[in-house]
Copies of this chain bind each other. A is one copy, B any other.
């Protein structure tokens, strides 16, 4: 058995001999989350894993001020996200009314509620965040897009199909024109809407663990 002195020496020697911890040590790699070099994958992961976010419109009630509202969404059935967020909104709520007057909208997601940021602060750049900006469009209920959207929404949000009929919920989708992703130090990652949307298409569908 090692004497306490020898043990202390061995530990000290190990500490000296080990390479210094990398600067990223505070942010362990999370199983399932794409790495910081995979921007489009990370954006799609955020869109696939979250179930709610904040939809911001130009408020007609508040004279053109920005107005963010908590909404549920789905970008596909679980494990088969396509990146386009679908929403189930009623014009009893200001967000849908605003979008029908001025369709410029942004939709914001955070990694923080997924629980994978651990003790990292929600504003720390390594706790990923995504803002999709574009136009919020009403989806024609007779279209095949509407069938896909309903399946996507009602699978992730089962209670939606029982929401009051007389509230006249409608399906909306965001046509993405700009992406703002921060998932590491060094500022937002440049991703085009087409890079984001085509990610994983060659693999059939995007599967995140």
Is B104 in contact with A66, judged by CB distance below 8 angstroms? yes
Given contacts A72-B122, A121-B159, contact A56 B66 (CB under 8 A): yes
Is B72 in contact with A106, judged by CB distance below 8 angstroms? no
Instruction: Determine the chain B residues whose CB is within 8 A of the CB of A42 once the complex forms.
Output: none
**Complex-state Cα separation, A124 to B131, whole angstroms:** 23
Is A121 in contact with B54, judged by CB distance below 8 angstroms? no
Taking a contact as CB atoms closer than 8 A, the residue among B64, B68, B120 that contacts A68 in the complex is: B68
**Complex-state Cα separation, A109 to B52, whole angstroms:** 12
Is A68 in contact with B107, judged by CB distance below 8 angstroms? yes
Query: Cβ of A58 < 8 Å from any Cβ of B?
Result: yes
**Complex-state Cα separation, A133 to B65, whole angstroms:** 8
**Complex-state Cα separation, A29 to B107, whole angstroms:** 30
Q: Is the interface of A mostly helix, strand, loop or mixed?
A: strand
Is A108 in contact with B70, judged by CB distance below 8 angstroms? yes
Chain A: number of interface residues, binned into ranges: 35 or more
Instruction: Determine the chain B residues whose CB is within 8 A of the CB of A121 once the complex forms.
Output: 72, 157, 159-160
Query: Cβ of A155 < 8 Å from any Cβ of B?
Result: no
**Complex-state Cα separation, A187 to B108, whole angstroms:** 23
- Of residues 114 through 133 on chain A, the ones whose CB sits less than 8 Å from some CB of chain B are 120-124, 129, 131, 133
Instruction: Determine the chain B residues whose CB is within 8 A of the CB of A107 once the complex forms.
Output: 68
**Complex-state Cα separation, A113 to B104, whole angstroms:** 27
Instruction: Determine the chain B residues whose CB is within 8 A of the CB of A112 once the complex forms.
Output: 52, 70, 113
A-B contact pairs, 7 of them (CB 8 A): A52-B122, A56-B56, A58-B65, A58-B66, A68-B106, A72-B121, A121-B160
Mark A residues whose CB is within 8 Å of B: 51-59, 62, 64-72, 88, 92, 94, 104-110, 112-113, 120-124, 129, 131, 133, 157, 159-160, 178, 180, 187
